[in-house]
């Protein structure tokens, strides 16, 4: 079973603030979903790891080194 993580953990993994993680979730930039009736954003840890890895692969050609640098 996949582990579900919250915005705080997502932010730590991506090296961004919680607000940035929420904005990226809401915009569809990262693989996250609304979890409950309060609209809390969650993600599967595995999906975030895969997203980070895919960004690292893309950075090999662009020269950017971290997921947060690649957001611009």
Does 38 fall in a domain? yes
Q: What is the mean pLDDT of the chain?
A: 88
Strand ranges inside the chain, DSSP E: 4-6, 33-34, 41-44
CB 10 within 8 A of CB 32: yes
Position 64 pLDDT exceeds 90: no
Count of domains forming the chain: 1
* pTM for this entry: 0.77
Lay out the sheet containing 33-34: strands in order across.
4-6, 41-44, 33-34
Integer Cα distance of 54 and 57 in angstroms: 5
Does 15 fall in a domain? yes
Does 72 fall in a domain? no
Does 69 fall in a domain? no
Indicate which CATH number applies to the domain containing 41: 1.10.1660.10
Integer Cα distance of 41 and 29 in angstroms: 13
CB 42 within 8 A of CB 5: yes
Residue 24: which domain range?
A: 4-62
In tens, the pLDDT along 8-40 reads 999 999 999 999 999 999 999 999 999 888 889
């Amino acid at each position: 079973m996949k582990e579900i993580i919250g915005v705080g953990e997502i932010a730590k993994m991506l090296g961004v603030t919680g607000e940035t993680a929420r904005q990226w979730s809401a915009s569809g930039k990262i693989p996250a979903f609304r979890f409950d009736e309060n609209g809390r954003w969650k993600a599967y840890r595995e999906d975030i790891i895969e997203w980070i890895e895919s960004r690292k692969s893309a950075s090999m050609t662009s020269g950017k080194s971290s997921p947060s640098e690649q957001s611009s």
